[in-house]
Amino acid sequence: MNWQIHLPALVLAVPLLGAFASPVAGLGGRATRNAWMIFISVLTTAVCIMLWQKVIAGGTAVYVMGAEAWNITLPSGLSWPVRIILEVDAFSAFMAVVGSIAALAGAFFSLRFMDRFTGLEKFSALYFLLVTGMLGMQLTGDLFNFFVFLEIASVASFGLIAFWRDRPEAVEASFKYMIISTISAMFILIAVGFFYGRYNAVNIAAVARMLQMGYAEKIALVFLVVSLAMKCGAVPMHMWTPDAYAEAPAGVTCLLVAVSQASLYGLFRVCFSLYGASLGSTVVPWTIIVMGVLSMFIGVTMAVIQKEIKRLMAYHSVSQIGYILMALGVGLLALRDPQAMADYGFTAMKGGIFHIINYTMYKGLLFLTAGAVFYSAGSRNLNELGGLARVMPQTTFMFVIAAAAIAGLPPFNGFVSKLLIYQSTFAVYPLLAVAALVTSVLTLASFVKVFQTAFLGPAKKTYENVTEVPASMLLGMSLLTIVIIALTLFPGWTLSHLVEPAAKALVDQAGYISAVMGGGL
Amino acid sequence: MGMYAILFERNLIKIAIGITLLEASANLFLIVLGYRTGGSIPVFTLAGEVRSMVLPTPQALTLTAIVIGLATSALLLSLIMLLYRHYGTLDVREIRRLRG
């Protein structure tokens, strides 16, 4: 299969084409535009899944842009890579699949959700630019390209968050997000500069091969960790998350969740593949763990007191990010010690990576159900909502599934990944597991509150005429529901086929380097 | 300087200026990294016989970063405009409808 070698480039080219062609498709009227949006989303997802299969079957894939051939990473006679290189290992491919599924569901949902507004061709253009940026961040093998794709994703998401520009809150949220992400992007740029100054290279694999800890590297590491943690919304840099998530249109929020995962991906790519064993001390892993615990705890306590349904969910996403950070921090802690790695490190990594897919799916679903409630009932305030289960049975059903999954009730997928995290963190430091458990209980408490006030209770006069949302919105939500149920029913298959290759790829720094640099060097 | 402006200024325009300052400093940093003393321009056809060239890669990187910075500043200023239209002020202390 010859064309399959171009899959990494296709993953980026398809949504990019979709973005720039959507104003043209918009000329053909509403039906054409919608068909185009669905077509591109489905195609992107399909390409991502094929890429993932290829990576699982054939190992890490590299793709060089602008070279004589697609696979010459080292141009003739040179011992360092100079061209734009995409590098896809199992972890990147896994993240790309997760992200594209979230994007597909968001696109289905947005079709009808955004119907009431104008300027939709711009909306779909920005939407696909955001998808391109996200996938680019996950596939690139080059630090500077990471910065470029990060900026593509950020600029597109500023536009999408402020899409309802007649709402002052939306503009304010977008502005806040913009300041924070611009600062973090500049930090990343400066860190890239440090690497270039030291090693004359910006390729992750090339830098990783030559890396020796010095002052410049430490400064660059601090810049990278701080800015990427800012972007993925970990405490204490979390203040943009609730605003941005709550004010963006629901389909976009679903995608924004996946984009914050891309920053998280960058964080772990930097820690594992770039620095790897040369991190030296335990300071960085512990910083990440502490950041994770704080995010978990502060996120969930802030969520319990919220009255607006989407802000509540947004604070939960801060706390879920905390889980992932903590698990991967523990994995990082065990990186230098094979014994510890076998004992608890690898379990933590598996739990963390499994939690990434679970989190993206159920959090996306929750935001979509919140969007559905807002679409039908016209309110997001928990004090006003009530009795919606009578008029919106399907939405209620999906909300219950997602809420049970996020709270980690036993049969659901959230329980499996959380159990892995509890097990491994308990081996490191029992208090971590206690904090995680308490957070889980509080999560359950706040979702019981949402369920109770919004969906149960007597039917309210004001909501008598409320009906179930249109079919395409239900389709978007049920896509995510099906994924959640599948993950719930087959945790063993998911762990061994999806999660474990990704975790192994993340730990295997040498494999990542040699894919670009060649074994003989 | 840029960081100071972003953290302590209360006027939105001044915050925007802070961000552009930060961008400019990052770009300057990159350019300086590529400089070699006595080097000549890194254009293959114009340079002629030279021993040392200024490194071209940071210049390419900086060019990209400047373009991105331009997009960000344009969007930043247009958002400030929208905010001013909604709130009638540029003071961050008064633009705080999203709390908690």
Contact with chain B for residue A49, Cβ under 8 A: no
pLDDT-derived band of residue A1, with 50, 70 and 90 as boundaries?
very low
Q: What is the ipTM of this complex?
A: 0.81
Any domain includes B97: no
Q: Which of A14-28, A148-162, A494-508 has the weakest average pLDDT?
A: A494-508
Contact A186 B98 (CB under 8 A): no
**Inter-chain Cβ pairs, chain A and chain B, closer than 8 A:** 93
Distance CA A331, CA A347 (A): 8
Any domain includes B92: no
Any domain includes A231: no
Per-residue pLDDT tens digits for A59-82: 677 777 655 555 555 554 455 556
Contact A178 B75 (CB under 8 A): yes
> Which helix (H) or strand (E) covers residue A332, if one does?
helix A309-333
pLDDT for the residue A410:
75
Length of chain B: 100
**Is A336 strand, coil or helix?**
coil
Distance CA A24, CA A77 (A): 45
> Averaged over A368-387, what is the pLDDT?
77
Per-residue pLDDT tens digits for A440-452: 888 888 888 878 7
List CB contacts (< 8 A) between B23 and chain A. Answer: 182, 186
Any domain includes B80: yes
The parent domain of residue B6 ranges over 2-87
More confident residue, A510 or A432: A432
The parent domain of residue A364 ranges over 281-489
> Which helix (H) or strand (E) covers residue A88, if one does?
strand A84-88
pLDDT for the residue A520:
36
Any domain includes A369: yes
Here the tokens at position A205 are: 């694999």
Provide the number of structural domains found in chain A: 1
pLDDT for the residue A328:
79
Which amino acid appears at position A223 of this protein? F
Any domain includes B39: yes
- H-type helices in A378-392, by residue range? 388-391
Distance CA A302, CA A326 (A): 19
pLDDT for the residue A305:
79
Detail the DSSP E strand segments found in A394-448.
Answer: none
Which amino acid appears at position A143 of this protein? L
pLDDT exceeds cutoff 50 at B100: no
Any domain includes A243: no
Any domain includes B14: yes
- Among chain A residues, the shortest Cα distance to B68 is held by A151
Under a CB-based contact definition with an 8 Å cutoff, are residues A496 and A121 in contact?
no
Average pLDDT taken over every residue of chain A: 77
Nearest to A299 by CA among A321, A275, A331: A321
List CB contacts (< 8 A) between B13 and chain A. Answer: none
Residues ≥6 apart with Cβ < 8 Å to A513 = A205, A208, A209, A273
Here the tokens at position A15 are: 């949504």
Contact A158 B29 (CB under 8 A): no
pLDDT exceeds cutoff 80 at A28: no
User: For B45, phi and psi rounded to 5 degrees?
Assistant: -80, -25
Residue to test with chain B: of A160, A183, A184, A207, most B Cβ within 10 A: A183
Contact B23 A186 (CB under 8 A): yes
pLDDT-derived band of residue A521, with 50, 70 and 90 as boundaries?
very low
Provide the number of structural domains found in chain B: 1
Any domain includes A239: no
Here the tokens at position A192 are: 């890239």
> Averaged over A456-472, what is the pLDDT?
70
Contact with chain B for residue A148, Cβ under 8 A: yes
Any domain includes A477: yes
| Cα angle value A489/A490/A491 (rounded, 5°) | 110
Residue to test with chain A: of B15, B59, B72, most A Cβ within 10 A: B72
Alpha carbon dihedral A453, A474, A443, A101, in 10-degree steps, equals -170
Length of chain A: 521
Contact with chain B for residue A378, Cβ under 8 A: no
User: Beta-carbon neighbour count of residue A194 at 10 Å?
Assistant: 21
> Averaged over B30-58, what is the pLDDT?
61
Report the gap between the CA of A190 and the closest CA in chain B (Å): 6
From residue A346, give the alpha-carbon distance in Å to each of A57, A360, A369. Answer: 22, 21, 34
